[in-house]
Amino acid sequence: MANYQDRQIHEECGVFGVFGVEKAASLTYYGLHSLQHRGQEGCGIVSVDNRTFHRVKGEGLVTEVFNEDNLRTLTGNMAIGHVRYSTTGGGGIDNVQPFMFMHSTGDFALAHNGNLVNSFQLKTFLEERGSLFHSTSDSEIFAHLIKKETDSRDRIFPILEALNMVEGAFALLIMTASKIYACRDKHGLRPLSIGKLGDGYVVSSETCAFEVVGAEFIRDVAPGEVVIIDVNGLQSVDYSKFKHYNMCAMEYVYFARPDSDIDLLILVDGDTMTLAQEEEITLPLYELELRTGISISPMIVLKKLWDNRPFKTPFYVNIINEGIVL
């Protein structure tokens, strides 16, 4: 048992999905290329065409795994993709995502960024009930939790139950024959954004991938939320009443691309603020900016002035709706 914990693979990866757009796999290829900085060990794409799933995956970079010939086999107007970077443990093709699962209640594919802190307990729970694991990745646990439900209920119900059993940081894409489910952990530790492309939608770990495929950013998936994407558009379901925005420093310092938008609002208590006090706050941020190459745009405001603003600017609205409290 201890050996399994030592071998456990925890991942900081990138996910990308497309719904309702022709040549979805090709768009996913370009999306993954934009997210290549998030993982270089392996990558994969699964598409759906007329309820049939197609998959190509392999170890290596996006440009090494995919070519015109194998992309041509990924037909359909739905696709999800994944680039993988494991922070501990070994590699191997078995751990390259997306995973595909055949089930009596309907086939599905899954792509996951993050790790689960209760993975050992969940794996033991599932194995005692007959589940067989084919990888050492946290991600497969999600699939087995969903698969353990064998009734004919809508897929969203076992997904919600599975999400309420896991603890950790994750962004998750689940694709069935007709829908994509975009899920984010209740702490908001892993990023996940939604964009509009023509009559369809895209989902990505970072907004930098939207520009490459010509998509327009709509919003982030909220902590504790599942966004269902299908022919009817977007539908939101909360799986957790506990919802809190937190920021994982690893995401922004080590994984995020500089052209993924990050602004920093700093509220200071007190009645006045001197230039020296402001410099004391901002200088460490500029040093961090130089070390990482990531653009940080700090705005320092007295808290009492922020709370009593006479009007609401677009920046204010964006902060209130999408800001992450640190």
Q: Is the peptide bond before 191 cis (omega within 30 degrees of 0)?
A: no
Please report the pLDDT score of residue 7 as a whole number: 39
CB-CB contact of 113 with 190 (8 Å): yes
Structure tokens at 216: 């327009």
Please report the pLDDT score of residue 152 as a whole number: 63
Pairing of strands 297-302, 263-268: parallel
Q: Which residues fall within 8 angstroms of residue 67, CB to CB, at 6 or more apart?
A: none
Q: Which residues are catalytic?
A: 13
Please report the pLDDT score of residue 179 as a whole number: 96
In the chain, what are the domain boundaries?
2-238, 262-322
Helix (H, G, I), strand (E, B) or coil at 108: strand
Buried/exposed 282-310: b ≥16 CB within 10 Å, e otherwise: beeeeeeeeeeebeeeeeeeeeeeeeeee
Please report the pLDDT score of residue 98 as a whole number: 96
User: Around Cβ 157, how many Cβ atoms within 10 Å?
Assistant: 12
Long-range contacts of range 142-148, CB-CB < 8 Å, 24 or more positions apart? Answer: 142/110, 142/112, 142/166, 142/172, 142/174, 143/99, 143/101, 143/108, 143/110, 146/108, 146/174, 147/101, 147/103
Please give the chain's pLDDT, 326 residues, in tens. 334 343 344 456 899 999 999 999 999 999 999 898 888 899 999 999 999 999 999 999 999 999 999 999 999 999 999 998 865 445 688 889 999 988 777 899 999 998 888 888 888 888 877 777 777 777 788 888 887 665 666 788 889 988 988 888 899 999 999 999 999 999 888 899 999 999 999 999 998 899 889 999 999 999 999 999 999 999 999 998 776 656 555 555 445 555 555 567 778 888 776 767 777 877 787 677 666 666 666 667 777 767 765 545 555 666 666 666 66
Please report the pLDDT score of residue 318 as a whole number: 61
- The CATH number of the domain covering residues in 2-238: 3.60.20.10
Nearest to 37, CA basis, from 194, 226, 250: 250
